C-alpha cells in the first residue's frame, strides 16, 4: 500500500473535494452565456474576499503574473519605486521593477524581521519622486507579517504615491479590507488561501490606480489590465481563460462565504497560534520576530550532541518516512529554517498531524524530544478555539 500523503506547504495547499468535483464538470466554452454567469459570480466572490467595491481582475498565471501586471500597468518609463522587503518574495518586486527599467529605492530589514514603517516614511521624504511603494502583506519565505496598514497611512499622506501589496499568501486568511485601508493594488493567487490548484492570479485596483494605469507607458500586451477590464465587465476575458479553474474558484468562494469572514480569520489565527505553541513546546525556536498567520518558520533544530540538522534533510525525512510535506528555507535561508503552512483548507487535525510527524522525525534524527508535548500544546489552543467558534455560531443564529 502506498503511503498516505499530507500536504502542509504554503502553496500549493489542499483543494477541497467539493472544489475538485466542480472542476471535473464538462468544460464550457468561454464565450458562452453559461460561462459568463459563472465568471461574474466568481468575480463577485473575489470582491467580497478583497472587501472592495471594485471588480478584481482574473489573470491566467501564478501570483507573479499579478505582481508583474501591477508593475507594467502602474509605472512608466523613468519612474522610481520604493520597495520595502525582508525576504525572497519581497525581493521579487525589486527584480520585476528592474526588468522594466524602473529605478528602485529599497527599504530592507533582516530576514525574520518586518520592515520598519518609519524607515519607509524617511525614504519617501528623501525621495519625493517616488511613484509607488511595493511590499508584502506576508513574507512567506520567512513567516513574517508585514505592517502594510501603517504603511498605507504613510503613503496616502504623500501626493501621487500608490501602495501596491502582494497578498498572495495572505488574502483570504486574515482581514485585509482593501478599500478601508486604502490599498491601491492588491494581488493574490489561486493556490493559497483560496483553496484552488495553481494557475490563476488576481489583482484589484483602486480608482487612483486605474487613473494611473491609463497613463502608464511600459510595454504590455497579455497583462494589459485595461484590455482585461473592458472584457471582464462583460463576463468574459480578453484571452482564453482557465475555464475549469474559474468554475472551481466560484465553488471555493462559495465555501468561504458559507464560513464567513470572521470565522475564516479566527480559524487561521487559531491554527497559527497552535503551530507556534507546538513548535515552542517541542524545544524549537521560531524564526520570525513578527509571526505570520499563514506560515510558521522555525530555525534548524539541534541533535542531542549539539550539531545542527540541515532543514532540507528534515523536510526530506518527513516526506519520505511519514508522508508529510512541509518546506525548507529559500535563498540564503536554505537549510537553516523549515516552514509549516496553515492557510487555506486546513483544520485542527492537519496541525496535529504535522506536530506528531515532526516529533517522530526529530527523534529519528537524534534530537532530544518528548513525544506528545507539542501535540498537547496545540490541542489546548485548538480546543479553546473550537469551543469559542461553537459559541459564536450559536449566538449568530439567535
CB burial of residue 174 (10 Å; 0-12, 13-18, 19+): buried
* pLDDT number for residue 396: 75
* pLDDT number for residue 1: 61
CA distance 42 to 55: 10
User: Considering only CA atoms, which of 188, 235, 229 is closest in space to residue 211?
Assistant: 229
* pLDDT number for residue 165: 98
pTM for this prediction:
0.96
* pLDDT number for residue 394: 78
CA distance 49 to 260: 10
Tens of each residue's pLDDT in the chain, 398 residues: 678 999 999 999 999 999 999 999 999 999 999 999 999 999 999 999 999 999 999 999 999 999 999 999 999 999 999 999 999 999 999 999 999 999 999 999 999 999 999 999 999 999 999 999 999 999 999 999 999 999 999 998 888 999 999 999 999 999 999 999 999 999 999 999 999 999 999 999 999 999 999 999 999 999 999 999 999 999 999 999 999 999 999 999 999 999 999 999 999 999 999 999 999 999 999 999 999 999 999 999 999 999 999 999 999 999 999 999 999 998 888 999 999 999 999 999 999 999 999 999 999 999 999 999 999 999 999 999 999 988 888 777 77
CATH 3.40.640.10 for domain 17-259, yes or no, is yes
SS3 content of the chain, % helix, strand, coil (to 5): 45, 15, 40
Domain borders along the chain are: 17-259, 260-392
Compute the CA torsion angle 67, 72, 78, 80 (nearest 10 deg).
Answer: -20
200 forms beta bridges with: 60
* pLDDT number for residue 7: 95
* pLDDT number for residue 397: 75
CA distance 166 to 368: 39
User: Considering only CA atoms, which of 96, 87, 91, 106 is closest in space to residue 65?
Assistant: 96
- In the CATH scheme, what architecture does the domain 260-392 have? Alpha-Beta Complex (3.90)
* pLDDT number for residue 392: 83
Contact yes or no for 333/298 (Cβ under 8 A): no
**What is the phi/psi pair of residue 3, to 5°?**
-70, 135
* pLDDT number for residue 391: 86
Contact yes or no for 140/11 (Cβ under 8 A): yes
Amino acid at each position: 500500500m502506498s503511503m498516505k500523503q499530507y500536504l502542509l506547504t504554503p502553496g500549493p495547499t489542499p483543494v477541497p473535494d467539493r472544489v475538485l468535483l466542480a472542476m471535473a464538470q464538462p468544460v464550457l466554452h468561454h464565450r458562452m452565456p453559461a460561462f459568463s454567469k459563472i465568471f461574474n459570480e466568481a468575480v463577485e466572490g473575489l470582491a467580497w474576499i478583497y472587501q472592495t467595491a471594485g471588480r478584481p481582475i482574473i489573470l491566467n498565471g501564478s501570483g507573479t503574473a499579478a505582481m508583474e501586471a501591477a508593475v507594467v500597468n502602474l509605472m512608466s518609463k523613468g519612474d522610481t519605486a520604493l520597495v520595502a522587503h525582508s525576504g525572497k518574495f519581497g525581493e521579487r518586486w525589486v527584480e520585476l521593477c528592474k526588468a522594466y527599467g524602473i529605478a528602485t529605492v529599497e527599504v530592507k530589514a533582516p530576514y525574520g524581521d518586518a520592515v520598519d514603517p518609519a524607515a519607509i516614511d524617511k525614504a519617501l521624504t528623501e525621495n519625493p519622486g517616488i511613484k509607488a511603494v511595493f511590499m508584502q502583506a506576508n513574507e512567506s519565505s520567512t513567516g513574517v507579517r508585514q505592517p502594510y496598514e501603517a504603511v498605507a497611512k504613510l503613503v496616502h499622506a504623500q501626493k501621487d504615491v500608490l501602495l501596491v501589496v502582494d497578498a498572495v499568501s495572505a488574502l483570504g486568511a486574515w482581514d485585509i479590507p482593501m478599500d478601508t485601508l486604502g490599498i491601491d493594488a492588491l494581488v493574490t493567487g489561486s493556490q493559497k488561501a483560496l483553496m484552488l490548484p495553481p494557475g490563476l492570479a488576481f489583482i484589484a485596483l483602486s480608482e487612483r490606480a486605474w487613473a494611473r494605469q491609463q497613463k502608464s507607458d511600459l510595454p504590455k500586451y497579455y497583462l494589459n489590465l485595461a484590455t482585461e477590464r473592458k472584457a471582464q465587465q462583460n463576463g468574459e476575458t480578453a484571452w482564453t481563460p482557465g475555464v475549469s479553474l474559474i468554475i472551481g474558484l466560484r465553488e471555493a468562494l462559495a465555501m468561504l462565504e458559507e464560513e464567513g469572514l470572521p470565522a475564516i480569520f479566527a480559524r487561521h489565527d487559531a491554527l497559527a497560534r497552535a503551530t507556534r505553541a507546538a513548535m515552542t513546546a517541542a524545544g524549537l525556536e521560531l524564526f520570525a520576530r513578527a509571526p505570520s498567520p499563514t506560515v510558521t518558520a522555525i530555525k534548524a533544530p539541534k541533535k542531542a550532541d549539539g550539531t545542527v540538522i540541515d532543514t532540507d534533510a528534515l523536510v526530506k525525512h518527513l516526506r519520505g518516512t511519514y508522508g508529510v510535506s512541509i518546506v525548507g528555507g529559500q535563498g540564503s535561508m536554505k537549510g537553516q529554517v523549515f516552514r509549516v503552512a496553515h492557510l487555506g483548507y486546513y483544520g485542527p487535525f492537519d496541525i496535529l498531524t504535522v506536530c506528531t510527524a515532526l516529533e517522530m522525525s526529530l527523534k529519528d534524527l537524534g534530537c532530544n524530544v518528548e513525544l506528545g508535548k507539542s501535540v498537547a500544546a496545540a490541542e489546548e489552543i485548538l480546543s479553546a478555539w473550537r469551543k469559542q467558534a461553537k459559541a459564536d455560531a450559536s449566538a449568530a443564529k439567535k
